[in-house]
Amino acid sequence: MSQATTNLQISVEETAAWSRKLVITVPEGRVKAERAKVAKQLSKRVRIPGFRKGKVPLAHLESRFGPEIDRQTQQKLIDSAFSEAVKAKELEPISAPQVAKVAYDRDSELTFEVAFDIRPEIKLDRVGGFRLTRPEVTVGDEEIDAQLAGLRQQQALWKPVARKPAAGDSVEVTITPLEQETAEAEGQPYRFTLGERRAIPDVEAAIMTLDPESAGEFTVSFPDDFEDEEQRGKSRRLRIELKQVLEQELPPLDDEFARSLGDFEDVEALREAVGQDLLRHKEQEVEAKLDHEIVEGIMQANPFDVPDSMIERYLDALVGPPPEDADPDLVEQAREQARPTAEWGIKRTLIIQRVAEQQGLEATREDVQARLQELAKRVGRPVGEVRARMAKSGELRDLARRITEEKVFEYLKEQSEITVGGS
């Protein structure tokens, strides 16, 4: 692509791998023309007593608004010159331009420097030839049984029982602190399942000694790993009243239970579906691990850096905006801890984009349409409705990205030797 013509003087300095600094000079004639244009536009908007709008003499305009005319002229020239310069030099900025060393004279040329990052154009000399192992995956009966137990717990009912509570029971309690300075402290109601670490161990142990509709006073100690550092290792005197004990009643694992979960004829059909889901999940994990290993191999075979501005934007999305009262040092520490993850994620994206470009693997409209038809069939809705919903939510763009990634990793796996090994 040929460079655009311009009357600007432009020098380019490579300050880092993907950072550039331009020194731009705008000629005197262009400065004067732009300033005259700004003055004319301003004269049409301002009102000065004794003169009709748009008929203010230049001398009066200069005396009152000269600095403002200079400010607007300088900004307009910098904006237009920067845009023109990056086009002329065929550069693609990906960060906000940082303008410095502005030298402006209304009767002479304008010179300024501007620094920015450009989009990396990575070179991949090797994307294959890696030796990888794809573990065999199986699903055992005990894994299916555990999944079915979880499904039964999700459908379980809770019924009151007249006995002391045990681990796994849900309890309703009122806890009142007994301290000299708060002799009339108000009790707080709680409901939680024993054994899920919703309460400190001493409190759970105390509750298990009570019968429903009874109360007792206990001294409890906060563990050394308690989340509130000020309470760690301290003891408190509490009054605990047990209102109710609820026992979980699991539905029987029978054909009726299987049919209640979906289109399953009997328990065996449910077991088969659960096993297939577990196997599919394991296979997806294996493929994701292979994808990760391939990307790692490509990064090591083709080392490259990424601009700091890309990392900072990734960190903004990864860490999120901090609370207003957040400690700046802790925020910076969190960002630094997340920096390696951010850099790796950016490199992964750039590698996928580069391979997709080189091999023509970007998702096509036909690819997206076919996937939309699959999704529409799965949810039982018209494909047009599914497309409109996904376009509105931004999911349509993500769908095209996922399809591209799938095609890229399918290609990359073909370039390496993958053997099947033990799990």
Structure tokens at 177: 């602190």
As a whole number of angstroms, the distance between CA 404 and CA 401 comes to 5
Per-residue CA distances from 254 to 15, 153, 168, 258, 269 (Å): 70, 14, 23, 6, 11
Average pLDDT over residues 251-259: 95
SS3 content of the chain, % helix, strand, coil (to 5): 50, 20, 30
Quick one: tokens of 150?
A: 């979880």
β strands within 222-372, DSSP E: 235-249
Give all domains of the chain, ordered by start, each with its CATH number: 9-117 (3.30.70.1050), 122-155+255-302 (no CATH), 157-249 (3.10.50.40), 303-421 (no CATH)
Distance between CA atoms of residues 98 and 95, nearest Å: 9
Cβ burial, residue 94 (10 Å; 0-12/13-18/19+): middle
- Sheet with 98-103: strands ordered across: 9-16, 19-26, 110-117, 98-103
pLDDT tens digits, one per residue of 115-154: 999 988 899 999 999 999 999 999 999 999 999 999 999 9
Residues 267, 258 contacting (CB under 8 angstroms): yes
| Residue closest to 386 by CA, chosen among 376, 397, 399, 371 | 376
Q: Which helix (H) or strand (E) holds 330?
A: helix 328-359
> pLDDT tens for residues 302-342?
999 999 899 999 998 888 888 888 888 888 999 999 999 99
Determine the pLDDT at residue 163: 95
Higher local confidence (pLDDT), 49 or 93: 93
Q: What is the mean pLDDT of residues 17-39?
A: 93
Per-chain mean pLDDT for the chain:
90
Query: Rounded to whole angstroms, what are the CA distances from 379 to 62, 269, 374, 386, 397?
Result: 68, 21, 9, 9, 20
pLDDT of 62-120, one tens digit each? 778 889 999 999 999 999 999 999 999 999 898 889 999 999 998 899 999 999 999 88
Q: Are 416 and 129 in contact (CB under 8 A)?
A: yes
**Residue 289 predicted with pLDDT over 50:** yes
- pLDDT, tens digit (0-9, with 9 covering 90-100), for 173-216: 999 998 755 555 688 999 999 999 889 999 999 999 999 999 99
Residues whose CB falls within 8 Å of the CB of residue 362, separated by 6 or more in sequence, listed in order: 356, 404
